[in-house]
Structure 1
């Protein structure tokens, strides 16, 4: 069941939740199928370490992408074309006169 307001924007959270679920499920399955408790505990610790490392990398990646997107938005907003010094918007240079008929 999803929380109210939780959209598809939390991809890293979904991955971490499934990984945490597997950290619990895999040792249980190993014990049910005859593995030792020590072996199952070792697998659980290994999966937890991999999950923690992946979580850190995913959060770092999201943070970097958010920073790059913010910088790109700010740069785009300020890069509107402007007339150069001494030029009017219609392309005339100060001091030029247009012919009068």
Structure 2
């Protein structure tokens, strides 16, 4: 039986959200003004939101990379095989090229 993979990004976001709630309470307990505690809470919430966005984007990229691992490799422009290349200098017949 396979063990489910832990949702480490989700755990991280849950702890960050908990901190967003806990830090202003602690700041108020130590005598910080309500405006200062609210500012800290908003700053932490903004940082948490950005981190969540980056973590989810990273997870999608990792999932996409692991899905493409089994796919066959293709050429630079998506063509398979070597074939003739376009562009560049082509000598006609036995004409020497400088």
Give the TM-score taking structure 1 as reference length: 0.66
Larger relative contact order (C-alpha < 8 A, sep ≥ 6)?
2
Structure 1 runs of 4+ with >2 Å offset = 73-76
Q: Partner of 1:44 in structure 2?
A: 41
Structure-to-structure mapping, 1:1-101, within 5 angstroms:
7-8=5-6, 10-75=7-72
SS for the counterpart of 1:58 is: helix
Whole-Å Cα distance in 2 between the matches of residues 48 and 31 of structure 1? 17
Give the gaps of 5 or more residues in structure 1: 77-101
Give the gaps of 5 or more residues in structure 2: 74-98
Give the greater-gyration-radius structure (CA).
Answer: 1
Query: How many residues of Structure 1 are paired with residues of Structure 2 in the alignment?
Result: 71
CA RMSD across the alignment: 1.7
